[in-house]
Structure 1
């Protein structure tokens, strides 16, 4: 299943750009990013899916929204800076545009909207890159006030940090080189060397599959580099991130099948209840105003192809 010398040679230029894990590759809507029809029509996760969340909890549960400033919000305003942890390695979610130098993407728009709503001034919002494996650590150590970074809500994580209400439906998908004979998720994983970001839901999910080896990396984009080098057979990551990898590099594709449905949320300290309530109010306003749908259409629709309503979590 490994890529041969020819495949490696074709990837030299891409690897040079991706090695820094900050480059944004490609533009437009490459065909490789399109998800198969069977996968695009999968049902969104439902409330109470404890097994997928990794335990017995309600991943939709959060504090009621509020526009009031409590002690946590007042403390942030007193220091005159709201620090939001983001990703710089996910095309269309959070990455630096090499042409403009600007950080952009779906999560970046959301982070700026939350920051501006709370602080009243975009200049008082600081976006800080955080590795996948360090998301919870950065919150607990006070290095960021919140994480807006394709973070799936799980029961284990709910024991460590607080989450906003969910803002995006997700599931786990597998990416392989186009030269791979695998056509399904099971075929891609069986006896394979599979890459996943450390501390991710994908890394946890791979414990349940007959893989040969799991290669753990700091950020999911590192997996794309390893696939290009022929060092791993496949990558498991969130469906939206899988689509972004296929959009970046037309030598890889997303195989049929998805598992572990879940939802993404914004993570904060468990003691910052009033901050969580403020974020939930911003999310309600952001969706109600049409801004959520607008940024989905701008950044993600060309690659996921589903209507925005498919990805907005609805409590049942």
Structure 2
């Protein structure tokens, strides 16, 4: 082993040890700490956010910052809870890492287009819904399709592995559903005329409509899958303050300001639908 190799390995070990020591306590220890009181000392809340979801949490390559509705809501909630000088700290999460990082204690809360489900509620605690997500329809501007009932006799594009086909068939049994591997493929199929509408979560469709001005979201939501803020089990104090802050942000107009900032120019965006 050369001297250079020895030094490199030594630095690697030190780096790994440092990274390990910087982690917050494991979940069993994190549960015993009142995060609301601990964060009150520093006036800082650590949030898990997505960095790959347009309008909600997306990395801005120009400034290397995550930006979106969820990010702005996290900042507003932090200041509503701890005061105008409070700071929100952000850690990027994915669908696979958001709950493990929360359970491990590396996050105080997760606001990351996270649907409230009974299965997840067994593992984490959810706030009241902060965005009334659900399946909706994306159509070309000028389309006669106004809601899911208009899909009878039409071809609808969806994504494999979702409940979209079953949900549509309940309301429009004569609709034909074509399924694709991901949302990008389904949208390309819509653009090429392989169907008259695309069905998916309204948050995803808002992002597509934002980037493609010839399309609009229509019909409200025909399923209910609201997004909630997740905290670790045993953190009722923090959860209660988040819920109270959500109410206050809606009452003082901050929620509407943030929603209109990100969705106001999206064709088909319904503020009343999103905020209910």
TM bracket (short chain): 0.5 to 0.7
CA contact (8 A) 2:220 2:273 kept: no
Query: Partner residue of 1:139?
Result: 102
Aligned mate of 2:51, from 79, 88, 92: 88
After TM superposition, give the deviation of residue 147 of structure 1 in Å. 1.1
Gaps of 5+ in 1: 1-69, 218-222
Query: Which residue of the partner structure matches residue 151 of structure 1?
Result: 114
Q: Structure 2 matches for 1:35-74, cutoff 5 A?
A: 71-74=34-37
Q: Which has the higher contact order (CA 8 A, sep 6+)?
A: 1
Change (3 A) 1:130 1:229: farther
| TM-score where L is the length of structure 1 | 0.57
1:195 to 156, 159, 171: 159
Q: Confirm or deny: 8 A CA contact 1:185 1:256 kept in the other structure.
A: no
Q: 1:285 to 1:250 in 2, by over 3 A?
A: closer
Pairwise CA distance, 1:286: 0.9
Which of 90, 93, 98 pairs up with 1:127?
Answer: 90
Asked if the contact 1:246/1:254 (under 8 Å) is kept, the reply is yes
> CA, structure 1 residues 95+225, in 2 after alignment: closer, same or farther (shift >3 Å)?
farther
The reply on whether 1:112 has 2:75 as its aligned counterpart is yes
1:297 counterpart = 2:254: no
Label 1:169 to 1:227 Cα distance change in 2 as closer, same or farther (>3 A).
closer
* Equivalent-residue separation in structure 2 for 1:209 and 1:86 (angstroms): 30
1:224 corresponds to 2:184: yes
Distance in 1 of aligned mates of 2:59 and 2:204? 16
- The aligned residue for residue 12 of structure 1 is none
The aligned residue for residue 282 of structure 1 is 245
Residue deviations 1:56-88 (CA, integer Å, cap 9, x gap):
xxxxxxxxxxxxxx9221233457742101122
Q: 1:145 to 1:280 in 2, by over 3 A?
A: same
Across the aligned residues of Structure 1 and Structure 2, the Cα RMSD in angstroms comes to: 3.9
- Residue aligned with 1:107, SS: helix
Residue segments in structure 2 that go unaligned for 5+ positions in a row: 1-32, 170-176
Aligned counterparts of 1:245 and 1:150: Cα–Cα separation in 2: 16
> Per-residue deviation at 1:254?
5.4
Residues of 1 paired with 2:189 and 2:178: CA distance?
18
1:246 matches 2:209 = yes
Moved more, 283-292 or 95-104: 95-104
Deviations 1:217-242 (A, max 9, x none): 7xxxxx32785599xx9975421321
Task: Please say which structure displays the higher CA radius of gyration.
Answer: 2
In the alignment, the residues of structure 2 paired with residue 241 and residue 305 of structure 1 have an alpha-carbon distance, to the nearest angstrom, of: 13
CA distance in 1, matches of 2:215, 2:260: 23
> How far apart, in 1, do the equivalents of 2:118 and 2:125 lie?
11
Larger deviation, residues 77-86 vs 260-269 = 77-86
Q: Report SS of the residue matched to 2:100.
A: helix
Partner of 2:124: 161
